Structure 1
């Protein structure tokens, strides 16, 4: 399954997680009526890094999402979801470090991407050869059919603390803590 991140949340306890799950579920009717009247398809083409000026010191290599009708609807839908999570106090405006509201566009400006390589926190790699080789490569077009609340940790049932998931424990890096189905 491919995933795109809309928002990073601090769901450090069961109460916050339950509130986020309930809110996401409550948003489904409006999301379906306003953004999903027709299938939302996203096309992934060309690899890039966030270090445009110096790809030899990259931390992330990703496929770009083609700027088309599907991308525009995704931005609008993501902005609606973010607005609702801010309004309900699940995330504060000052915690939105990765996305900024663009008043002239009327939505949160974010860089949707499909990560191929995400190095450890401060390690870098030279992405220039990969960019040169795959800059025009198309991964294809995919339908958006679910929105998940995913996490890299789980809540310990005994003490309520967050415990990191990791590959070595066989749990995978992300786990779904809640989702809505956008298509039937």
Structure 2
């Protein structure tokens, strides 16, 4: 059934979805800065995203080991930007994400870069294979970022407990 749909429709649809999801993440991030952070809030997004790995059950989404390595490498590089710009602050004995003026531009820049890469690579890869690679990229970007946030959070939390 999916084989009868031209691949450019998948590229356009997934690009639109990427932008909508990016806007959603930015909106959620702005709202979340008004509430204290906890370990659960830090870890839920990558755990929830892990269910997307079920796509690899289907043969169309299978990617080669070298493509996995490439996607992971790009994801880890992208995560370093997010790690560098994610900071915490203590307000009245509670831990909050610190507002970063650069965060919106960095997230938008990463999103635009991903879309450009997807459009460029869509001529070289099957659309489903590309979807798998970009899921791996996003997952490889999210986990290091969230783990770094968790370690920073725990370090600050420990100083609050001992104080």
Per the TM superposition, whether the score is higher than 0.5 is no
Q: TM-score, normalised by structure 1?
A: 0.26
Structure number with higher helix proportion: 2
Bigger fraction of residues in strand: 1
Q: Which has the higher contact order (CA 8 A, sep 6+)?
A: 2
TM-score normalised by the chain length of structure 2: 0.29
